[in-house]
């Protein structure tokens, strides 16, 4: 099949492979860009401002910070102090335990299995604790959802545990004046119980409760209260999926998607690798169907991903074929495919069904392709329909998500269901029996609650882990309605926007301090246990309910028997044990669940069975109509780091560069290069974004791959009460969300843009550590790979290395020699490795201003490169970290031998030798060395200091640092092996980045062991080393990116601009 419509492909046998040209920003595509010496100078700088200039600028700008003169004074003073400090040895105290807990050995980590609650996925985690404090989270390899991987939000949640801005004690607030007062739990309990006794209507408003036990507790609590009801509201609820399942198949549930079984995946706005349902799980499954082994290259198979989306997401970036569309067009495309398949093609069980044909009336590929301006036209839709039919029962259609959630969100899901049923995927790649989680919240319930509140009927409102004062547009009227509720209690970790409007704000435990459970799949139970005693005087939400139920004499059901939440949880699990595992005692069952973190019933994980599609569901499909909005449409989306904004106060997540845009610390308006040009907008221009009467101001980011009539922005920013880090970081886009009837409509609104003339400099890392147009990636098509997998033939001739004599004697490695292999085809760019590394290696945050001048400290970064046209580029991600070069350029220039080789091949950085010349950094071709311009660790205040990993030195100002290949983990593995008189075995330990990677893209090990995984991967025909021509001999091999396309649009074209040398 020929995927391209233009540009004839050179005949296979004769044409030499021409590698695609990768670029970082659209400006590079202007002719002669790299020929300009000024450009080369500018882009070649690793640091944009010298420290003194930086301080002078601060002085000029009059901004808070240290002015230059003060800085010099402080420097002088601290030098003098430092000299005096040597005169007296600082006296340190050792305070032993009074009674040492039996399980603690000083200096040895304890691990506890638990369940992550950062988002709704409920992945299994292992909590690493040292001397009783959690310092790192890792995915639980035995958990069937995430299989050892963990996403950025999960990795970062250990920092949220120590967030100094957490609500520390119960707070009472006079709502009229806002006067705030700390109160005791006893006072709270008395006040709440008195209210509960009198109240005629009690409501609990919570986020999506994924725990069976908590659900039951809430039910039992409310059964004792007058007229009690539980309402759930979750911003990223995906309610339209379960609702459409009810319409299409009879039962409201969220199916499990088997991306590993699908050979052709079509995503209609579903960012399943970034923010849709269970991205960590999906990424693992998706990558499984794309693994390549060059020993069988000629028969290589990989699944193909085709995406239609309204903003550039991780899923789009990883697609083999991507089509930028406007929000709402996803539905038109879905129905056009269905029309072609069922009506025109007369295929599938629905062929000849008059009601289906009627529902699809008008959605012809020709009409839709013309309406949405699809690249490839109607032929592309027809071909896709044909390909899907060829791959029936082996394909998968996924749809929906925030950036496609317009008025027709439900119809889009029904269309996807119709397609999946027509293509016989139902029951094969879609598992309708493995219901994901308990019933999803419905925003219609919330709408009803707001009505009741407005009518003055609700007398007591208890809000738990929901923040409607922030996550709803003003038009929803929540705040006004709240004023009519006489008694409001908010229970949560933060004193958030909603808590500020309540009578009482009560601190809840962080999930690392609390008991709990979750059932992420039908038949799968995941246990959550505390790994640290509560840091503040918080109390579990569940315990509060228990106390109040007992205090009012209304402790129904299990509540009556349980002294506290832990006992309640056990009582509920006792029933589980009686039902599923009666062969063992409860103690055995409980211990085993605690140890494993998860319990699977016999019914879990079986083969799914097909359900039959109900034609009645088609009634929700809209009649074919053109997009009424001829102007620009808005798409809102959830970024993979900040998500719905719950963890907005987490500095690790704020400073994580967005994998697509490379911007940190802010949200922004994505605009297509074409539209930017048309409106006279450039990067960093502030524009007024108006939807109806609501308007906000956002800085512009020119994003290749955006649809020219669509702009997009991330939700979750601009929190008004998140804490020191998150408050007013970025812009709140909820004013642009529409609350229509029963639900929220995030995307598809007509939007008008107005240039304000102001500039806001986004802290982007896009041009930091740029390669100055030197090709660093091998990027080939599957067809080419099948024909000839050898990397050398695909490498840019400028980069090939012929054998050269070496000036240095070869190092000798008698024992281990550590190396790494990174599969660019598997890397989705999710950046979990970056946060995993940050937590493991005590990497500080530097703040927005320092990122602007290229001083972020990440040891591993994920470089994003584009290729092809600026309107719809292909994307490739490249994790870049210290390459531990054999002939390391950094080592030869260090005047004080602070960076040297060790006898296992590690390039080590010796902090106590380093004097901060930065020569090494200047000479590093990979730009992976990071310099401490300030004592960044000092930004960790109070409880945050508990998150440091005691096995890794916290670096001070003035020294260089970089990836160590997790030398502390190597040492720990050797220590354990030596205890048993053995050598370290392959796979016995993983580096932090490797451990958390959902797609197994990173493999680390001993290259001296010919049987190790890393040795085999380094010998794969796809393996190449970056900038090999320099003869630095890096110890990291990359495996070529392979795309499942027959030919590239630009292949053999005029893209091979000369690389400067």
Partner 1 sequence: MSVSTGAGSCGTHSTLSQMDKLMARISATQRNLAIGVALTVALIAVGGLAAVFPSASNQGYMPEQPIPFSHKVHAGDNKIACLYCHSNAEKARHSGIPSMNVCMNCHTVVKADSPHIQLLQKMYKEGKAFEWVRIHELPDHAYFNHKRHLAKGLVCENCHGDVKSMDRVYQFSPLTMGWCMECHRGRTTPRQVMENIYPGEKNPQGHAAPTNCSTCHN
305, β-bridge pairs: 265
Q: Which stretch binds partner 1 (CB under 8 A): 117-125, 723-731, 914-922, 1037-1045?
A: 914-922
At residue 751, the 3 state secondary structure works out as: strand
Q: Which stretch binds partner 1 (CB under 8 A): 92-100, 185-193, 363-371, 427-435?
A: 92-100
Whole-angstrom Cα distance, residue 758 to residue 789? Answer: 51
43 versus 1055: smaller Cβ distance to partner 1: 43
Site for partner 1 in 781-800 (CB under 8 A): 798
Site for partner 1 in 939-958 (CB under 8 A): 951-954
Q: Going residue by residue from 711 to 750, which x/- string records binding to partner 1, judged by CB under 8 A?
A: ----------------------------------------
Q: How far is CA 263 from CA 48, 316, 397, in A?
A: 46, 17, 11
At residue 135, the 3 state secondary structure works out as: strand
Q: Answer yes or no: are the C-beta atoms of 832 and 314 closer than 8 Å.
A: no
- Binding flag, residue 93, partner 1 (CB under 8 A): yes
Q: Answer yes or no: are the C-beta atoms of 857 and 844 closer than 8 Å.
A: yes
Short-list 648, 668, 650, CA closest to 660: 668
Site for partner 1 in 959-988 (CB under 8 A): 964, 967-968, 971, 975, 978-979
Q: Answer yes or no: are the C-beta atoms of 842 and 948 closer than 8 Å.
A: yes
Whole-angstrom Cα distance, residue 316 to residue 307? Answer: 6
421 versus 773: smaller Cβ distance to partner 1: 773
Q: Which stretch binds partner 1 (CB under 8 A): 88-96, 386-394, 408-416, 780-788?
A: 88-96
- Please report how close the Cβ of residue 843 comes to partner 1 at its closest, in angstroms: 13
- Binding flag, residue 770, partner 1 (CB under 8 A): yes
Q: Answer yes or no: are the C-beta atoms of 401 and 435 closer than 8 Å.
A: no
Site for partner 1 in 100-139 (CB under 8 A): 100, 105-108
CA 745 to chain CA mean position, Å: 23
110 versus 752: smaller Cβ distance to partner 1: 110
Cβ neighbors of 200 (< 8 A, separation 6 or more) are: 226, 227, 457, 459
50 versus 60: smaller Cβ distance to partner 1: 50
Beta strands per DSSP E along 718-829: 738-740, 743-745, 750-759, 763-764, 779-781, 818-823
51 versus 551: smaller Cβ distance to partner 1: 51
- Binding flag, residue 769, partner 1 (CB under 8 A): yes
- Binding flag, residue 491, partner 1 (CB under 8 A): no
Short-list 463, 468, 471, 501, CA closest to 483: 501
Give the sign of the dihedral formed by CA 879, CA 881, CA 884, CA 886: positive
- Binding flag, residue 50, partner 1 (CB under 8 A): yes
Whole-angstrom Cα distance, residue 1033 to residue 619? Answer: 63
- Please report how close the Cβ of residue 1029 comes to partner 1 at its closest, in angstroms: 6
For residue 763, report the phi and psi dihedrals to the nearest 5 degrees: -85, 85
- Binding flag, residue 17, partner 1 (CB under 8 A): no
28 versus 406: smaller Cβ distance to partner 1: 28
For residue 405, report the phi and psi dihedrals to the nearest 5 degrees: -85, 85
- Please report how close the Cβ of residue 29 comes to partner 1 at its closest, in angstroms: 21
Q: How far is CA 801 from CA 165, 275, 302, 666, 930, in A?
A: 54, 41, 30, 42, 28
457 versus 968: smaller Cβ distance to partner 1: 968
Q: Answer yes or no: are the C-beta atoms of 393 and 342 closer than 8 Å.
A: no
Q: Answer yes or no: are the C-beta atoms of 156 and 163 closer than 8 Å.
A: no
146 versus 994: smaller Cβ distance to partner 1: 994
Structure tokens at 1025: 């080393």
Whole-angstrom Cα distance, residue 231 to residue 806? Answer: 71
Site for partner 1 in 412-441 (CB under 8 A): none
720 versus 971: smaller Cβ distance to partner 1: 971
Whole-angstrom Cα distance, residue 482 to residue 538? Answer: 24
Structure tokens at 575: 């029933």
The H or E element containing residue 744 is strand 743-745
- Please report how close the Cβ of residue 288 comes to partner 1 at its closest, in angstroms: 34
Q: Going residue by residue from 441 to 480, which x/- string records binding to partner 1, judged by CB under 8 A?
A: ----------------------------------------
Structure tokens at 544: 């509060």
Structure tokens at 610: 């097909």
774 versus 1022: smaller Cβ distance to partner 1: 774
- Binding flag, residue 938, partner 1 (CB under 8 A): no
- Please report how close the Cβ of residue 476 comes to partner 1 at its closest, in angstroms: 50
- Please report how close the Cβ of residue 596 comes to partner 1 at its closest, in angstroms: 26
Whole-angstrom Cα distance, residue 874 to residue 876? Answer: 7
Q: Which stretch binds partner 1 (CB under 8 A): 228-236, 309-317, 650-658, 763-771?
A: 763-771
* Number of residues assigned to the chain: 1061
Number of residues that bind partner 1 (CB under 8 A): 65
For residue 227, report the phi and psi dihedrals to the nearest 5 degrees: 60, 40
- Binding flag, residue 761, partner 1 (CB under 8 A): no
635 versus 906: smaller Cβ distance to partner 1: 906
Query: Which position among 95, 179, 533, 804 is part of the footprint of partner 1 (CB under 8 A)?
Result: 95
- Binding flag, residue 860, partner 1 (CB under 8 A): no
510 versus 930: smaller Cβ distance to partner 1: 930
Structure tokens at 96: 């032993």
Q: Which stretch binds partner 1 (CB under 8 A): 97-105, 201-209, 302-310, 511-519?
A: 97-105
- Binding flag, residue 78, partner 1 (CB under 8 A): no
Beta strands per DSSP E along 116-219: 124-130, 133-139, 171-173, 180-182, 202-206
- Binding flag, residue 89, partner 1 (CB under 8 A): yes
Query: Which position among 873, 925, 998, 1034 is part of the footprint of partner 1 (CB under 8 A)?
Result: 925
- Binding flag, residue 1008, partner 1 (CB under 8 A): no
- Please report how close the Cβ of residue 131 comes to partner 1 at its closest, in angstroms: 10
93 versus 299: smaller Cβ distance to partner 1: 93
Query: Which position among 330, 904, 1000, 1020 is part of the footprint of partner 1 (CB under 8 A)?
Result: 904
- Please report how close the Cβ of residue 924 comes to partner 1 at its closest, in angstroms: 8
Strands 763-764 and 663-664: antiparallel
- Binding flag, residue 921, partner 1 (CB under 8 A): yes
Q: Which residues of 307-323 are buried (b: 16+ CB within 10 A; e: fewer)?
A: bbbbbbbbbbbbbbbbb
Short-list 856, 867, 846, 840, CA closest to 1004: 840
Strands 321-324 and 430-431: unpaired
Q: Going residue by residue from 797 to 836, which x/- string records binding to partner 1, judged by CB under 8 A?
A: -x--------------------------------------
Q: Answer yes or no: are the C-beta atoms of 365 and 381 closer than 8 Å.
A: yes
Site for partner 1 in 1011-1050 (CB under 8 A): 1027, 1029-1030, 1032
Short-list 283, 8, 217, CA closest to 1052: 8
- Binding flag, residue 843, partner 1 (CB under 8 A): no
Q: Which stretch binds partner 1 (CB under 8 A): 331-339, 467-475, 628-636, 915-923?
A: 915-923
798 versus 985: smaller Cβ distance to partner 1: 798
Whole-angstrom Cα distance, residue 987 to residue 888? Answer: 26
- Please report how close the Cβ of residue 1027 comes to partner 1 at its closest, in angstroms: 7
Q: Give the dihedral of Cα atoms 660, 666, 670, 675; nearest 10 deg.
A: -130
Q: Where does this chain bind partner 1 (CB under 8 A)?
A: 40-41, 43-47, 50, 83, 86-87, 89, 91-100, 105-108, 769-772, 774, 798, 889, 900, 902-904, 906, 908, 910-912, 918, 921-925, 927, 951-954, 964, 967-968, 971, 975, 978-979, 1027, 1029-1030, 1032, 1061
């Amino acid at each position: 099949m020929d995927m391209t419509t233009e540009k004839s492909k050179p005949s296979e046998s004769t044409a030499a492979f021409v590698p695609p040209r990768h670029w970082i920003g659209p400006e590079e595509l202007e002719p002669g860009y790299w020929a300009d010496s000024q450009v080369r100078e500018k882009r070649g700088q690793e640091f944009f401002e010298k420290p003194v200039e930086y301080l002078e600028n601060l002085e000029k700008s009059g901004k808070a910070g240290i002015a230059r003169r003060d800085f010099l004074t402080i420097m002088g003073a601290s030098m003098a102090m430092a000299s005096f400090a040597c005169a007296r040895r600082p006296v340190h105290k050792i305070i032993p335990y009074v009674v040492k807990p039996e399980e603690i050995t000083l200096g040895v980590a304890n691990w506890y299995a638990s369940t992550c609650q950062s988002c709704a996925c409920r992945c299994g985690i292992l909590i690493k604790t040292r001397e009783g404090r959690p310092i790192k989270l890792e995915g639980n390899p035995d958990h069937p959802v995430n299989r050892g991987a963990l996403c950025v939000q999960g990795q970062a949640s250990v920092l949220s545990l120590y967030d100094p801005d957490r609500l520390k004690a119960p707070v009472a607030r006079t709502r009229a004046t806002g006067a705030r007062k700390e109160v005791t739990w006893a006072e709270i309990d008395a006040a709440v119980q008195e209210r509960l006794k009198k109240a005629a209507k009690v409501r609990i408003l919570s986020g999506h409760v994924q725990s069976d036990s908590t659900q039951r507790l809430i039910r039992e609590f409310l059964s004792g209260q007058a007229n009690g009801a539980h309402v759930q509201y979750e911003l990223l609820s995906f309610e339209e999926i379960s609702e459409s399942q009810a319409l299409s198949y009879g039962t409201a549930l969220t199916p499990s998607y088997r991306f590993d079984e699908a050979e052709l995946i079509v995503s209609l706005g579903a960012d399943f690798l970034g923010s849709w349902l269970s991205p960590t799980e999906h990424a693992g499954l998706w990558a499984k169907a794309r693994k390549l082994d060059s020993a069988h290259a000629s028969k290589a198979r990989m699944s193909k991903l085709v995406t239609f989306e309204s903003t550039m997401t991780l899923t789009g970036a990883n697609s083999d074929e991507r089509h930028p569309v406007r929000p709402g067009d996803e539905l038109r495309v879905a129905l056009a495919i269905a029309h072609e398949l069922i009506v025109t093609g007369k295929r599938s069980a629905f062929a000849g069904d008059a009601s289906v044909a009627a529902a699809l009336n008008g959605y012809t590929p020709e009409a839709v392709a013309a309406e949405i301006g699809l690249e490839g036209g109607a032929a592309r839709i027809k071909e896709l329909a044909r390909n899907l039919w060829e791959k029936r029962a082996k394909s998968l259609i996924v749809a929906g998500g925030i950036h496609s959630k317009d008025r027709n969100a439900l119809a889009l899901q029904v269309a996807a269901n119709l397609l999946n049923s027509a293509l016989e995927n139902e029951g094969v790649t879609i598992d309708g029996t493995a219901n994901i989680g308990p019933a999803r919240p419905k925003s219609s319930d919330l709408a009803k609650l707001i009505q009741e509140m407005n009518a003055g009927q609700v007398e007591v409102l208890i809000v738990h882990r929901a923040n409607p004062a922030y996550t709803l547009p003003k038009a929803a009227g929540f705040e006004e309605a709240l004023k009519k509720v006489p008694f409001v209690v908010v229970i949560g970790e933060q004193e958030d926007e909603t808590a500020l409007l309540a009578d009482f704000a009560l601190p809840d435990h962080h999930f690392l301090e609390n008991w709990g459970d979750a059932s992420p799949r039908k038949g799968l139970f995941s246990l959550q246990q505390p790994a640290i005693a509560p840091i503040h005087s918080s109390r579990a939400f569940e315990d509060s309910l228990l106390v109040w139920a007992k205090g009012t004499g209304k402790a129904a059901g299990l509540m009556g028997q349980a002294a506290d939440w832990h006992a309640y949880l056990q009582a509920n699990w006792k029933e589980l044990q009686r039902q599923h595992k009666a062969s063992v005692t409860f103690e055995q069952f409980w211990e085993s669940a605690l140890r494993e973190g998860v319990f699977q019933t016999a019914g879990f994980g079986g083969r799914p069975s097909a359900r039959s599609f109900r034609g009645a569901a088609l009634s929700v499909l809209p009649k074919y109509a053109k997009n009424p909005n001829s102007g620009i449409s808005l798409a809102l989306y959830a970024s993979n780091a900040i998500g719905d904004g719950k963890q907005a106060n987490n500095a690790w997540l704020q400073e994580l560069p967005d994998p697509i845009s490379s911007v940190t610390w802010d949200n922004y308006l994505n605009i297509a290069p074409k539209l930017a040009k048309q409106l006279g907008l450039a990067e960093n221009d502030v524009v007024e974004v108006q939807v109806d009467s609501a308007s906000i101001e956002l800085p512009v980011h020119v994003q290749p791959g955006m649809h020219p009539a669509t702009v997009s922005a991330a939700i979750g920013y601009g929190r008004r009460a998140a804490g020191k880090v998150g408050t007013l970081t970025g812009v709140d886009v909820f004013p642009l969300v529409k609350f229509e009837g029963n639900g929220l409509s995030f995307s598809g609104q007509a939007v008008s843009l107005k240039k304000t003339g102001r500039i806001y400099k986004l802290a982007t890392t896009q041009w930091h550590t740029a390669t100055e147009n030197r090709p660093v990636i091998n990027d080939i098509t599957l067809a080419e790979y099948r024909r000839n997998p050898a990397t050398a033939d695909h490498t840019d001739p400028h980069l090939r290395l012929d054998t050269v004599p070496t000036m240095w004697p070869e190092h000798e490695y008698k024992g281990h020699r550590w190396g790494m292999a990174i599969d660019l085809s598997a890397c989705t760019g999710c950046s979990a490795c970056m946060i995993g590394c940050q937590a493991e290696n005590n990497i500080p945050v530097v703040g927005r201003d320092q990122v602007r001048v290229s001083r972020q400290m990440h040891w591993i970064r994920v470089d994003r490169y584009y290729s092809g046209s600026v309107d719809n580029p292909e994307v490739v991600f490249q994790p870049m970290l210290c390459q531990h070069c054999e002939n390391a350029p950094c080592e030869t220039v260090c005047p004080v031998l602070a960076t040297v080789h060790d006898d296992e091949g590690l390039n080590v950085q010796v902090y106590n030798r380093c004097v901060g010349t930065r020569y090494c950094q200047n000479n590093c071709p990979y730009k992976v060395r990071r310099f401490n311009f300030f004592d960044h660790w000092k930004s960790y205040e109070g409880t945050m200091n508990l998150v440091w990993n005691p096995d890794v030195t916290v670096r001070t100002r003035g020294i260089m640092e970089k990836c160590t290949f997790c030398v502390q983990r190597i040492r720990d593995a050797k220590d354990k092996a030596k205890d048993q008189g053995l050598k370290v075995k392959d796979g016995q330990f993983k580096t932090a980045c490797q451990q958390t990677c959902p797609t197994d893209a990173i493999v680390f090990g001993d290259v001296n062991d010919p049987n190790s995984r890393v040795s085999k991967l380094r010998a794969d025909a796809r393996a190449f080393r970056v900038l090999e021509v320099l003869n630095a001999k890096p110890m990291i091999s990359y495996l070529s990116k392979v795309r499942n396309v027959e030919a590239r649009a630009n292949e053999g074209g005029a893209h091979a601009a000369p690389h400067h040398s």
